[in-house]
Amino acid sequence: MSRPSLEDIFAEDDEFGLLNVKPRASRGGTSEDRGVAALLEVTAFHELNSRLPDPDATDHDEMRLGAIWDTVKQAPTDQMRVVDRLGLLSEDAAATPRSWQDEPVDADIPDSLDDIFADDDLDVDASLVSLKHATPSAERHIPDHRADFVPCQDFEQFRERFETVQRGLETGERQASPVRKWSVIEPIEGDFFIRNGLLAMIVEKSEMSARGGARDHRLRIVFSNGTESDPLMSSFRKSLNDDKTARMVQKIGLGPLDPEWESDQLEMSGTIYVARSRSDNPEIKGQRMILHKIGVTSQEVARRVADARNDPTFLLAPVEIVATYSLQNLSRSKVESLLHRFFAAARPSELFITDRFGKKVFPKEWFYVLPDHVGQAAKLIEDGTLHQYYYDVENQSITFKPKMR
């Protein structure tokens, strides 16, 4: 049997339609056809992604389509405009949408939180943006004074000490050792340092208080150029660490047992002050006329209490000075200790405040006494007869101790 020829094959019935093949479009089609094909492909992409293809995309197909679109959209044909049912050939639609990763336009950046909350598209419940049980930032921990350098009004009583220490450094009798980085320094009254090229003497170290959740002291520092400052001890430590030339002046003597070791300790006059709290706390406000703080300071009393509302020692509230008594030729620290021990029975054991960290602080310098009682005790200290008396809490009076037989 002979093989069928091609004519015989093509003459047979095409049962499966294998010969119904459409001729492939010529690659050399018109630019109008290519533009329309690209527009249709871009239209399909836009309907799927709600944006135009990005020629800089990491996806290869999108990058290819975006590059083709950038070319054909430059010269759209009439046929392309006819099939552009999404208006992609308009100038507004042709712009590539901004991505969240793009740098924001300056005009889109709000100037303040008020601009954000004023946006009509932002519907925020007012309770979510209203602060409760919080101190406004404008009032939070703002000091009523700064530890600035001011002229020292009583510098003459310190001048001789500075001259003595300076001579000791020049002759080698005293040594100045560098302050090591991040070293913890515990200055006491009478200590000398060199800071920013000036001799600095610790004149006063006030009672300890808890500030910012940490225990701290307020210092009074007098400098050899006739100025003084009253920083917190933590701030003074930081200033020494920040100063690469800072030095600590060593004491005279071999140690605490050496009689000369304490020669730098100050025995100076000061002022006893009685302060009354102006706190709005109902428990404190209700007894403010009988609850008083007893303190002793070597500086101006007004400057000592200027930052009272930020100091737990002062019950985190402003105070008013109701009485002051001058000390003459008496040790400030000893007088303060004597007064606190003398009135210890009148110290309110239940008195405490809660700082802004929620921690309870129990101030030890407040007593249920009247200003006149403090004045009487100060006079007895000056006369050297305080030990002959005691404070009678029940009768609220200073009473003479009966003689022992």
**pLDDT in 10s for each residue of the chain, 405 residues:** 567 777 777 777 766 666 665 555 545 556 667 888 888 888 888 888 888 888 888 888 888 888 888 888 888 888 888 888 888 887 545 455 555 556 666 666 777 777 776 666 666 666 666 666 555 555 555 555 566 788 988 888 889 889 988 998 898 888 888 888 777 788 888 889 999 889 999 888 887 666 655 677 888 899 999 999 888 888 888 888 888 888 888 877 555 554 555 555 565 667 899 999 999 888 888 888 999 999 988 888 888 888 888 888 888 889 999 999 987 777 777 888 899 999 999 998 888 888 777 778 788 899 999 999 999 999 998 888 998 999 999 888 999 888 755
The length of the chain is: 405
What pLDDT is attached to residue 50?
83
What pLDDT is attached to residue 389?
92
Distances (CA, A) of 364 to 81, 92, 150, 201, 205: 88, 74, 30, 27, 16
What pLDDT is attached to residue 369?
93
Residues 6+ apart with CB under 8 A from 262: 190, 256
Annotated domain spans of the chain: 24-120, 150-262, 271-400
What pLDDT is attached to residue 61?
84
What pLDDT is attached to residue 24?
53
Among 366, 361, 351, 317, residue whose Cα is nearest residue 211: 361
What pLDDT is attached to residue 310?
82
Residues 6+ apart with CB under 8 A from 372: 323
Residues 6+ apart with CB under 8 A from 206: 217, 218, 219, 220, 295, 297, 304, 313
Cα distance between residue 186 and residue 119, in whole Å: 54
